Amino acid sequence: MKITKKQAKERISFLREEIKQHNKNYYVDNKPVITDFEYDVLLDELKFLENKFPEFFCEDSPTLTIGSDLQFVNNSDNLKVIEHKYPMLSLSNTYDKGSLYSFNERIIKEVGVDFKYVCELKIDGVAISLSYKDGKLVRALTRGDGVKGEDVTNNVLTISGFPRELPKYSTVKDFEIRGEIFMSFSVFDAINKVREINNESLFANPRNAASGSLKLLDSSKVKERSLNVFFYSVLDHDNSFTNHSESLFWMREMGFSVWDGFTICNNINEVIDFLDKWDISRKTLDFPTDGVVIKVDNYILQKQLGFTSKSPKWATAYKFKADQVSTKLISIDYQVGRTGAVTPVANLEPVTLSGSEVKRASLHNKDQMDLLDIRLGDYVFVEKGGEIIPKIVGVDYQKRDYSCSIPIFPNYCPDCGTALVKDDDESKHYCPNIVGCPTQIKSRLLHFASKKCMNILIGEATIEEMFSLGLLKDISDFYYLNKDNLSLVSRWKELSINNFLNSVEESKKKEFNSVLFALGIRHIGEVAAKNIANHFISIDNIINSSIEEIVMVDDVGEIMARSLRDFLDNKDNIELINRLKEAGLSFSINSVNNRSNILSGESYVITGVFDISREDLKSLIESHSGKVTSSVSSKCSAVIAGQSPGESKILKANNLNIPILSKEDLFNKIKING
């Protein structure tokens, strides 16, 4: 089936937003909603479309960047962000053994000599990098975006499994060592039992629990979580080792915890044997693992093979197939989301899957229910790939009792009773009662207050209570609360009230694009909101625009444009915007933010690693009226190159005689002291 440029642009835009949202679900919220496989399918489709339609290429596309929480979190009041000495890249992965043979053939062709592999289990935890200087631990950083990570040294010091100081006889003194921090299944179960007794929300899986624990600001609480760590890589400037397996043996000798099942394989067939063995044996382990990492052992060959923009060419990860069990479907609930989407969720007879008890599983939508031909009382197959929210993938028809009833998908919203609607080009049913559906209202309140939106200090339970008390009826009510009515909130004393009110006042400083995103308009994600804000400058310009004009915005397709237009055509939403304006929120880009017009009419491409984030560099260029583009073309004014710039960009710039500038060159041009 052929795809037009217009369709491709819209699909690419959708996939980028979708993948970025899933990155947030995984890295920030610790609540992924799709499997690793489903995530990789989306990423592969995006790669294909970007290659087929290079005119829509974007340098910050998820296909070229590492999933991270740093793009979502404002660290001014959290953990310090520090640059890695050596970038922490991600791994390419596959679910197909045939792809491993292709991987092997490519390496044989490129290196032309005999070589060995090292196979290690891929622990499903949180990547960590420890820095040692003169044989002493000086810092521990999370992976972050691969270039910079968060400083969690104090928390990591509560974990055993590594020396704080190396033995005196060690000749390797200055290095970084990489590992994976994880929580065992037994500890995970014990913690969740306590949380259930205390009526606290349960951790979804060990990986989420480990990630959330590592970023607690109270190290004593981290210690209570009994985290573990396995190390898998050491990097030192002096290249002290000739191969990877040698470094693993050295790590173990120095006191670093290393998974003792790692194996040196002489060829790809031995690698396959290793995979087959551990696909079965992993189910007896007390820690989560979702695959095997396969690396070329020899460091000289690794260097020869090199890297892509986000992963080494000498290593890959083989992902195990999702675990699957059969259990009985008892009933189906229909949940309403923030955008009004109604999702069927199955209630199941409890069953153990991937180390934890499963009672509920997603059925996604009515089309999926019809496809499965599911009945109440059926025995269903449940998968939980990647240790995430389980989903029903099939029905055991041989066990079907044909007296079982067919579930009836509701025609009306289960919360407010409004008739549901379904667009022809979507699989979800929606409740259109945006202003009157309680679940949608509470979800929008939570979205509006979230860190990546207005960063108001309030949690889900408090929003629920304030809504019940009538204090919050829509998002504008945040700005009309006072100490008197906040005193009605249970357990809120003067400190909590003041902190909340201060955060509300601080949120008024948020820029227009953040406010636009915080409105919770269906299909309008964080990136689209920023592009729309930058294009139209003010909400009034957007209100007066047509769908055709909105589609002209970068990475905005017709579905997004129609959704935005529908939102602004609703008089209740216009009244809401006016109330937010009166409260002091910004609905335009303030021209004073532009420091000068010195870069007006000029466009730049940013490539490589800098001592400031690319986003800061991009904002600096834009604040002086310049534009940042993703690819080098004849219209490009210059390429701003940091360390390890993209070779293809530099080559193309040289061929087109486009200047290549350093960050300092740019600063000098706009007369800023770097």
Active-site residues, by number, are 122
> For 294, which DSSP code?
E
What DSSP element (H or E) covers 544? none
- CB under 8 Å to 376, separation ≥6 — which residues? 329, 330, 331, 332, 404, 405, 406, 407
What DSSP element (H or E) covers 380? strand 379-383
CA distance 560 to 339: 13
CA distance 323 to 382: 8
| 155 within 8 A of 219, measured Cβ to Cβ | yes
Quote the tokens at residue 326.
């059969």
Of the candidates 209, 211, 236, the one whose C-alpha atom is nearest the C-alpha of residue 143 is 211
Beta bridge partners of 118: 264, 295
Q: Is the dihedral of CA 607, 609, 612, 613 positive or negative?
A: positive
- CB under 8 Å to 213, separation ≥6 — which residues? 155, 183, 221, 222, 225, 227
346 SS3 class: strand
Of the candidates 167, 122, 168, 159, the one whose C-alpha atom is nearest the C-alpha of residue 140 is 159
- CB under 8 Å to 521, separation ≥6 — which residues? 563, 564, 567
316 SS3 class: strand
Long-range contacts of 212-217 (CB under 8 A, 24+ apart): 212/30, 213/155, 213/183, 214/126, 214/128, 214/142, 214/152, 214/155, 214/156, 214/181, 215/78, 215/79, 215/142, 215/150, 215/152, 215/155, 216/155, 217/78, 217/79
CA distance 80 to 234: 23
CA distance 94 to 618: 34
589 SS3 class: coil
CA distance 448 to 585: 13
CA distance 564 to 552: 13
CA distance 581 to 567: 17
Q: Is 413 left (phi over 0), alpha (psi -120 to 50) or beta?
A: beta
